[in-house]
A and B are shown apart, each in its own frame.
Chain A
Amino acid sequence: MLAVTDLKKSFVSPDGERVDIVNVPGFSLGAGEQLALRGESGSGKTTFLNLIAGILAADSGQVAIDGQEMTALSESKRDRMRADKLGYIFQTFNLLQGFTVIENVVLGMSFGPGGADRDHARRTLQRVGLGHRLDHFPHQLSTGQQQRVAVARALANRPRLVLADEPTGNLDRKHAREALALIREVSKEVGSALLLVSHDEEVLQQFDLRRDFADINKVAVVARASSGPAT
C-alpha cells in the first residue's frame, strides 16, 4: 500500500551548510497495517511524514501509495492524492480556529473524492464522542476534545493511509491512551493503514508493529538549527 524507495531530503542550514534529514533506502506498509515509528526529536520523522504526504518535495526517491508514484506527480496532483488517500493527524491538531467542529471535518472532506458530506461528518464526530459539540469552535473545547476533532477530520474521508505525527504529544497520560485507542480503532473501522511516529514508549508499546526510525533513516542524527524545518 505504501512503498518508499531511496527517499532523500536535505536542507540548507542558516550557516549555508547542506544537511541531510531523510535518507530512507526502503520502507513499506501494507494495507490496513498499523505501524509505530520510534524516533527522537530532530530525527527527521516529521519530514519523513511530510514527504509521504507530498507536503514536501523530495530531493530524490519515490513514494508510492496504492502503486501510484507520488513523487512523480505535479504539485496539483499530489494535492489531489493527499485529499483522496491520506489522513494526517498533527501533534498540535492544526484545527482551523475560525471554523466550527463540524466545519473543520466537512472542510477536510470537501477536498476528497466524496466531497463534503455533512451527515457523514456528523456521524464521524458522534463516533469520536463529539456529537454534542458540532457547532462549537476549537477554542471552546478541551485539548482532548480538539484531538478527537483532528482524528475525525483525518478519518472522515476513509483514507487509505493515516499519518499520525506525535498525536498524543500534547495530551496527559489518560487522554493520550484514549486518543491513541480511538485513532487505532477508527482507523481499523474505516480500513485505513496507520503510520504513527512517536518518541513515547508507552504509545509505542501499544503497537505490534514497531520500528526505530533510525533503522530506516540512514543519516547521522545531528543537532539542527531551531530555525530549520520541522524534523
Chain B
Amino acid sequence: MALPLIIYRSLRQHLLSTIVTAGGIALACGLLMCVWVVKTQSQTTFTQTTSGFDAVLGARGSKLQLVLNAIFHMEASPGNVAPTDFEQVRRLPMVKAAIPIAVGDNLRGYRIVGTIPTLFEQIEYAPGKMFAVQPGGKLFALEGREAVAGSFAAEKLGLKVGDRFNPYHGLAFDPQNKHADEFVVSGILQPTNTPADRVIWIPLRGVQTMAGHDPKAANDISAVLVQLRSQAAGPMLDMMYNKQGNRLTFAWPVAAIIAELFGKISWFDQVLALVAYLVAVVAAGSVLASIYNSMSARRRDLAILRALGARRRTIFGAVVAEAACIGALGATLGFGIYFALLVGVAKVIRAQTGVVLDVTARHPVLWICPVAMIILCALGGVVPAFKAYRTPVAETLAPVS
C-alpha cells in the first residue's frame, strides 16, 4: 500500500518531468523495437519474396542487379538476352518453367513489364498461391494491346478496367518520352503482397514491338525467370552459365542473393541500432537526472516518511521503483511510437518495393526491449535512491521544527 502510494504521488507531483522523461524512453524504446523488427521482418520477407522462381537468367553482370530488376522490379536491366538463349533454357529438362520478361517502359513511374500469360496461369508466386484477376477483368491476350495492372499500381494510378494509356519510355517517368502505342486495361490483379503489385503487365510482344524501341532488339528479352525441377539443378546451371559460359548470368538461388544484399547494407542497421542505443542511454540518464534533481525538493518528505517509521530500504526501494515505473510508462508509450513508425516504414517499403511487412508479427525484441529499458531506468534510479537512503531525518526536519 505504502510503496505504490508513494510512487504514484511522487510521479504526480513531478508530472511534467515524468512525462518528458517517459517520452524520451518511449522514443528510445519505440526506435529500438522498430529498427529490430523492420530489420528482421524485411530480411525475412525479402528473402522469401522470390515470386515463385528459383533463379533469374540475364545478361552478364551482377546477380543482385539481375534479381532486383527481374523479381523486385527495381534497378535497370543489365542488358538483353537473345531469344535463342531463352529457348535454350526453356528446353532444358531440369527447368520446370521459364518465363521471359522485358522491361524498359513505365506509366507515370510504375514499371511496365512485358511477359507471357503463362506467368499468371501456371506459376505459383508463393506456395499454393496463384495470380488472379479481380472480378470484371481478364488477362491480356498474347498479341493484343492490353494490360493487366498490379493492385497497388492500379490504386495509385487510378486505373480501372477499360482505361487506356500510353506508356512512357524508360524506367523513370519523363513526360517527354511518351510512346504512341495505346494499351487498354483488361484487368486488375488481386493483391499478392509481392513486387508484382507495383507493375503494369503487358504482353511481351507489346514491349518488344513498341514504337520507338530499337527494331534490332525486337525479339530480345530482359531476363528469364526460371523455376527448376529440383534444387540439384541449380549448381549445374550455375556451372553452365556462370563458370563455363561468359555471355549470361544465372542468378541462383534468389533468396541467397537477396540475403547478400542485406549483408551489404547491414552497416545501416548498425548505425540505426547505435542511434537507438544512444537514445536509450540518454533516456536512462534523464531518469537519473530527473529524479536526482527532485531529491532536494523531496528530502523533507523522505525525512517525514522515515520519522513515521519507513525504513531506509523502503525509501531506497520507493525511489528505484519510481524510476522503474517511469521506465515502464515510457516502454508502454514506446509501443505506440513503435506501431506508428512500423506502419510508416511498412508503407514506404510497400510503396517502393511492393513487399508487405507484417506489422502484427511478434518478435522477442518486443518484450526484451521494454524489460531492458525498465531495468536500465531502475539502475538509473539507484544513484538518487542512494541519496534518498542517506537522508538524515533529524537534520532535515530540524530547520523548521
Identify the A interface with B (CB < 8 A): 46-47, 50, 53, 55-56, 75-76, 79-80, 82-84, 86, 88, 90-92, 94-99, 103, 106-108, 110-112, 115-116, 153, 165, 229-230
Q: List, sorted by A's number, 20 A–B pairs whose CB atoms are closer than 8 Å.
A: A55-B306, A76-B311, A82-B308, A83-B310, A88-B308, A91-B401, A94-B397, A94-B401, A96-B9, A96-B304, A98-B10, A98-B13, A99-B9, A106-B5, A107-B6, A110-B2, A111-B311, A116-B2, A230-B394, A230-B397
Size of the B side of the interface (Cβ < 8 Å), in residues, is 29
Q: A55-B306, A98-B12, A115-B1 are in contact. Are A46 and B311 (CB under 8 A)?
A: no
In contact, A90 and B12 (Cβ under 8 angstroms): no
Asked if B400 is at the interface (CB within 8 A of a chain A CB), the reply is yes
The 5 closest A-B pairs by CB, nearest first: A83-B309, A230-B398, A111-B309, A110-B2, A116-B1
Contacts of A76 in B (CB 8 A): 311-313
Asked if B228 is at the interface (CB within 8 A of a chain A CB), the reply is no
In contact, B308 and A99 (Cβ under 8 angstroms): no
Asked if B305 is at the interface (CB within 8 A of a chain A CB), the reply is yes
CA–CA, A47 and B401, complex, Å: 11
Residue of B nearest to A228 (CB): B398
Contact of A229 among B1, B307, B312, B395 (CB under 8 A): B395
Asked if B301 is at the interface (CB within 8 A of a chain A CB), the reply is yes
CA–CA, A226 and B304, complex, Å: 21
- For the A-B complex with A103-B5, A112-B309, A230-B394 known, give 13 more contacts whose Cβ atoms are closer than 8 Å: A53-B307, A76-B312, A79-B311, A83-B308, A90-B307, A90-B401, A111-B308, A111-B310, A116-B2, A229-B395, A230-B397, A230-B398, A230-B401
In contact, B311 and A80 (Cβ under 8 angstroms): yes
CA–CA, A219 and B306, complex, Å: 29
Residue of A nearest to B313 (CB): A76
Asked if B393 is at the interface (CB within 8 A of a chain A CB), the reply is yes
**CB of A209, distance to nearest CB on chain B (Å):** 24
Identify the B interface with A (CB < 8 A): 1-2, 5-6, 9-10, 12-13, 300-301, 304-314, 393-395, 397-401
Main DSSP-derived SS at the B contact region: helix
CA–CA, A226 and B367, complex, Å: 55
Q: A75-B312, A80-B309, A98-B301 are in contact. Are A111 and B2 (CB under 8 A)?
A: yes
Contact of B309 among A46, A47, A79, A116 (CB under 8 A): A79
CA–CA, A95 and B395, complex, Å: 17
Contacts of B311 in A (CB 8 A): 76, 79-80, 111
CA–CA, A56 and B398, complex, Å: 12
Q: A92-B400, A165-B401, A229-B398 are in contact. Are A98 and B309 (CB under 8 A)?
A: no
**CB of B77, distance to nearest CB on chain A (Å):** 70
In contact, B305 and A107 (Cβ under 8 angstroms): yes
Contacts of B395 in A (CB 8 A): 229-230
CA–CA, A27 and B394, complex, Å: 22
**CB of A217, distance to nearest CB on chain B (Å):** 17
Contact of A84 among B6, B12, B309, B313 (CB under 8 A): B309
CA–CA, A200 and B301, complex, Å: 28
CA–CA, A83 and B13, complex, Å: 25
In contact, B394 and A56 (Cβ under 8 angstroms): yes
Contacts of B398 in A (CB 8 A): 46, 229-230
Contact of A99 among B1, B5, B312, B399 (CB under 8 A): B5
**CB of A212, distance to nearest CB on chain B (Å):** 21
Residue of A nearest to B400 (CB): A92
CA–CA, A116 and B4, complex, Å: 12
Residue of B nearest to A116 (CB): B1
CA–CA, A84 and B311, complex, Å: 12
